[in-house]
Every structure is written in structure tokens, then in C-alpha cells.
Chains A and B, each alone.
Chain A
Amino acid sequence: MWLYLTPSRRLLSLRRSLIQYRSITLENSARKAAVDKVISPFRSICGKDNVSLGEAIREQHGKDESVHRCRPPDVVVFPRCVEEVSALAKVCHDHNLPIIPFGTGTGLEGGVGAVQGGVCFSLRNMDQILNLHPEDFDVTVEPGVTRKALNAYLRDTGLWFPVDPGADASLCGMAATSASGTNAVRYGTMRENVMNLEVVLSNGTVIHTAGKGRRPRKTSAGYNLTNLFVGSEGTLGIITKTTLRLYGVPEAMVSAVCSFPSVQAAVDSTVQILQTGVPIARIEFLDDVMIDACNKFSSLSYPVTPTLFLEFHGSEHSLEEQVSTAEEITQSNEGSDFQWARDAETRNRLWKARHDAWYAAQALRPGCKAYSTDVCVPLSRLPQIIVETKKDLLESRLTGPIAGHVGDGNFHCLMVVDPNDPDELHQVHLFTERLARRALAMDGTCTGEHGVGLGKRVLLCEEVGPLAIQVMKGLKDSLDPRNLMNPGKILQRGEL
């Protein structure tokens, strides 16, 4: 980036860097001294085996599944219960050490990078499923419980937790990033499905956002603290318990695939299906580049054209109705090759293309890494933004097959990029900024599911505006005055 500045700008930038470097070095040595002091109290709180200074462990806990480089913490602790989390947080608070909560490390925005070093709280030892109430459709889980583990536990009860971001993520981590997934169109995202949280604040205080143990299906009691912490990405507190809304396992499922002559036709079908009130469970869009990649990767032979993958949940009777309504709509929008399947094996085969999309994209250019964009716009603007984005991809000569949750207006360009080519990396970076701004110009958001993390802080300011950012800053100051909770994420340094 530095090479693109003029010589005088370079000098100014150099001077600023040197000053920053001096202050960072001072910060670093102060921090290292603090870290040395806390190791012994840490050990007495959670046991010697649960405090790690090892390089490999620290590196494991300094990165996630994004393209952001590893930023290891100074030390990793593995508390076993909320009392230990609180005690450890107090110690960090007393020594001004950053606190970074860590679930499964499956995030996509660099949220766990310890940009100012500090203490990573790996919560994997807190893995209990507590207080399942099948008649009330709720359950409380600790941060070490992943989505698949919960659904395996629930399998005999006829209940499930449907939010499915793809990875087998920690449920509390999903709450922290306000995760979503392929069936958000029917079941909602984490925002709609978290009923209560137990949170440890930066000074060790333990709060219950909706009151301890409370789980009414609805409430109008006081400020909505639960949804303040959902999506806070570890910058306001450590989530140590989440109470989740459960749903009945669908009696039956039908999957379908349909090809369309254009993006517009596919999106029009989506809008109409939703408007007729079909309670569609999943509606996924793959563009022609993506379908081509999937055909090559999984040896399939779908027509290379915009395609919709649909999934319906319900009773046998309602499924017949849903599928026939959807088929009519797709036909009226020039959809073709409508195939559907009822039994698990054929359904999996139909959807295989969608399931393998990530790998198929990477297989287009072996040796390259994949980075996913994440914008979300109102449904009516989706055809326009996809068409403009595809044009941009062609003009920039970038590889970016598109897969999207069209039912939500959310789509991902899976940018396949050579990590050793700085020019291409730069082009991708500029492209993603243009894409985000395109979405913002269409009343949308720069991040539908993945969060702000490290890479979208500037875009967040553009999205919500300076006044809302001031309010966010005020909340952050009040809950975490020393800026110890996951510093460097969501809000920028200059704003604090």
C-alpha cells in the first residue's frame, strides 16, 4: 500500500509510523511485564495445565478461518467454569491486559486475532449442555458446545437447533458473531434465537442479560441487553452461557433444483415464492461460474446457468403443496430442469453441488486460497447488485464464483486468490471494498453474517454513520472503559 503514496506523503507516513512504532514498543514491554506477573495467579485459578505459553498453542489461538494473518496472544488460558472466567478476567483487568474470547476458531473475519497481544480465553473446557426443557423448546449451553454436538444430544427429543452457518461452530461463538446460515429464511439468525446470555464483563462481573435462568418466549422487560451482546464479537464481554430457542425436527424434507436463463429470473422466482407464503426452508443461488466449478469438481452435469437450490420442510401433505406451488412459480419465470427428491440419499446427491461449493471454488485454481465476501441487500436490489458485481469481476479479471442465500438477499463471492501475488491480493481487496460500497448504496449492509472483525471497521462507519458509531463507542466505554475486551475489532482505534 505504501508504494502507492507520493514521496511527501511517504515521508509523513514514515514519521507517523516511527512514532507509532516507539509507542507500540513501549506498550509491548509494559505488556510483557504484565504478562509475567499474571502467570502465577492464572495457574492458581484454573490449574497449571490450563495455562499455556507454548508457541504452538498460542498460534492456534491467534487465527481463525479467514485470510487475516495469525496474531497470537501472549498466553492462553482454559477456564473450566464461569467462576474461573470471572477470576481470570479480574486479574487481566487489574493488569490492563487485553482479553480475547475463543470458541472454535471458525470465524471468517479475523475476530480472534490478538492485535495488541494479551490473554486468550479458550472456552472449550466449558462444554456442558444444561437445562434442556423440551416442552418449552429451550436449552442452555456453555461455550464449548458446538452446533452439531447440541443437535446430536437432542436427537431423541424431536427437537433441533436449525441455525447452520456451515462450520461446526461454538454456539456461544455464533451468538457473539450473530451468525446466520442457509435456513435463516425460515428459522431466523442468532438474533432471533438467543433468549438469554450469561456474560462476564471486562472487570469480572457476571451478568445475565435477561435475568438468571429466565426463558420466557417473549419479554418487554427493560433494555434488550441480550441482543446488545449478540454480535458484539467479544468486544463487550465473554459469553459463558447462551439460552437458545429450539424447533421441532421437520417431519419430512424435500430438496429441489431449478435452472434459470438469468439472475433476474432466479431472484424473481425467489421473491414470488416468499410472497405466496411458502414457508421455504432454504433457497440458495449459485451463479453460472459456480455451477461450472461444481460440475467440474463433483462430476455433475447441471446446465451452466444461474441455478436455485431449494429445500422444503413440513408434513407430507404440506410438502406436496409447497413443492407444486414453487414449481409453478419457477416455470412461470422460465425455470427449467426442475428436479426434486424426497429420500435422504437423493436429496444429498441433488444438493451435493451446493455443499461442495467452497471446495469446488478453490479447485478452480489449485494452490490458491479462498476468501468470501458477505454483503446483504433488500431482495428487490439483488438482481442489480449481482449483475454489477459479475461485471466488476470480469473487468478486474478476478475469479469469484457466487453462492448466495437469496431468500435473505445475502450472497457470497468466493474470491479465489493466489496468496503469493500481492498485486492480485490488492485487486481483491479493492474489489471487496467496491462491492461493500455498492451494497451500502442499495440500502444494504457490508456484512450479512460474518461480522465486522478486523477487515470491515471502516465500512461499518460508512454503513451506520458517525452518530451511531458515537453511540456504539459510548456503550463500549461504559461496559469496557479500559478497552480490554478484544481490542481492535468492530470499532477503530481512533474512535475510542
Chain B
Amino acid sequence: MSGRVLVGVKRVIDYAVKIRVKADNTGVVTDGVKHSMNPFCEIAVEEAVKLKEKKLVKEVVAVSCGPQQSQETIRTALAMGADRGIHVEVSGKDYETLGPLQVSKIMAALAKKEDAQLIILGKQAIDDDCNQTGQMTAALLDWPQGTFASEVTLDGDKIKVVREIDGGLETIKINTPAVLTADLRLNTPRYATLPNIMKAKKKKIANVKPADLGVNLTSRLEVLKVEDPPQRQAGMKVETVEDLVGKLKEAGKV
């Protein structure tokens, strides 16, 4: 039992930023825009660090796939309490087409290489809202998965996971090694403090290329167009119910 946890962290546009579509409709504006760690990834890191503080796991490794700037995201995870980082270098065209399938292949390869006991990911990223990476990673590794976790309890070599589902809460028990994805109510992530940020600068971040892991990054998806949602039309006031019905008929709604 290595007691090692891999946590995936993704660098995304900060949740408070107003997103703007690029003039050529190929994507959204990312230049000069504030980026930060995906909020669900923050929750994943917090959970891993909590497990380490409870001495239920031995080492927390933060992983991020992306260009040079992804290292900043790994540093934030280190400041929150992760022990070391792995930066999988993906840039240029490969980065533009990087999606859950490629990332899950990378995570699976790393899990084997690092002999990980547990993988914790955010349930989804706030830029693509895919909600697929955790599930695909589990499938590739043939590991059980506890997704949308709002409570995680380690119980010997099993894990009890309370999942948030449409009907309410579902409790499952899965074997380790396993993949978990963090939902909103799992915990409240800690703020990075200055002393921890300074300590994080000394922690190691290893550089790895996808090819070293034997992963092919080719995407099967092609983005055709990105556009704004339609502008909201002004409303219209009517005086009577008859007017209302008349207008609805005109618009072909009734």
C-alpha cells in the first residue's frame, strides 16, 4: 500500500471573469484573462490534504496537464498541502484539443507509474463542463469510481462514498484503488497562506511529456464554432389577458 493519492488540477479561466467569445468564433478570449484552479479541483485537493492530515494517506501528488502556466496551478495545490507536483507538458494545438479522453489516459498512465492508491478529481471543469475525466480514468484502469462525492470515509481497504444524485444521496462502498470525483459539498477548501506559499516554492514539480507515458493526444473532436447565447429580447407589457393571448398566438406559441 503506497498510500499515495493523485489529485488532478486544471487551470481554467477564473469563475468571476466575464467570458467573451473571440471575434472569429473559434473560442473564448483567454489572453490577459485571469486564470485560476478549477473550483472542483480545489475541493479535490482539500479532501486529499485532509486525508493526509488524518494520516489515512501518506503522500499527495498534484497533477496538471497543460502549458507552462499550469505550473502556477500546481504551486497553488502545493501551497494547500500537496507534497509534490507533476506537470504534464501539453501546449499549442495539442492543448487546444486536450479533453477528458486524453487527460484520463494520462492520469491512468501516471497512476500505474506512481503506484497510486487513490485518484481524486473535481467532478467537472467550469470551462467545458464535461464531467467525464473521472469516469473515463476509472474505466481505463478498471477501478471502481465514487463520483459526485459529498462525503468520503476510508474504511480499511474500502471507501464509503456518499454521492449526490438527482433523488438525494446515495451511499456506496467501493474497493481501493479507486477514482473519486469531488462535488460541491464535499468540503470548504482552505485559503493558501503566505508561509505555505513560500514553503510550496521549495516543493518539487516533475516535468513529463505525454509521449513518455505512451499517450497519444489525438483528438476525435473538432470545434466548429463558438458563439454567444442569443441576446435577451426586451419584454412587452400588455393591458389585458386577451392582449396576452393574442400576442402569444401571433408568436406561434399557442
Contacts and interface: CB of A to CB of B under 8 A. Distances in A.
Interface in B39-60: none
Interface stretch (A39-47, A65-73, A243-251, A401-409): A243-251
Interface stretch (B88-96, B188-196, B204-212): B188-196
A159 B34 CA distance: 17
Contacts of A153: 14, 16, 34
Interface string B178-221: 00000000001001111111000000000000000000000000
Contacts of A152: 16
Nearest to B197: A158
B16 A149 contact: yes
B16 A155 contact: no
Contacts of B76: 156
Nearest to A247: B194
A344 B16 contact: no
A249 B188 contact: no
A248 B193 CA distance: 7
Interface in A131-181: 149, 152-153, 155-160
B36 interface: yes
A318 B79 CA distance: 21
B34 A158 contact: no
B254 to A, nearest CB: 30
B194 A248 contact: yes
Contacts of A251: 193, 195-196
A155 B191 contact: yes
B192 A158 contact: yes
Interface size class of A (residues with CB under 8 A): 10 to 19
Q: Which of B37, B76, B191 has the most CB of A within 10 A?
A: B191
Interface residues of B, number: 15
Interface in B141-157: none
A158 B193 contact: yes
A277 B195 CA distance: 23
B191 A249 contact: yes
Given A153-B34, A156-B76, A250 B16 contact: no
A249 B16 contact: no
Contacts of A249: 191-194
B37 A158 contact: no
Contacts of B195: 251, 315
Contact of B37 (A149, A156, A159, A248): A156
Interface in B1-50: 14, 16, 34, 36-37
Nearest to B79: A158
A249 B14 CA distance: 20
Interface string B63-94: 00000000000001001000000000000000
A228 to B, nearest CB: 33
B188 A158 contact: no
A153 to B, nearest CB: 7
Contact of B36 (A156, A158, A159, A344): A156
Interface of B: 14, 16, 34, 36-37, 76, 79, 188, 191-197
Instruction: For the complex of A and B, list the 8 residue pairs with the smallest distance between their C-beta atoms, beginning with the closest.
Output: A158-B194, A248-B194, A158-B197, A249-B191, A249-B193, A251-B193, A158-B192, A158-B193
7 contacts: A155-B36, A156-B192, A158-B197, A160-B191, A249-B192, A249-B193, A251-B193
Given A158-B197, A248-B194, A249-B194, 10 more contacts: A153-B14, A153-B16, A155-B192, A157-B197, A158-B191, A158-B196, A159-B194, A160-B191, A249-B192, A249-B193
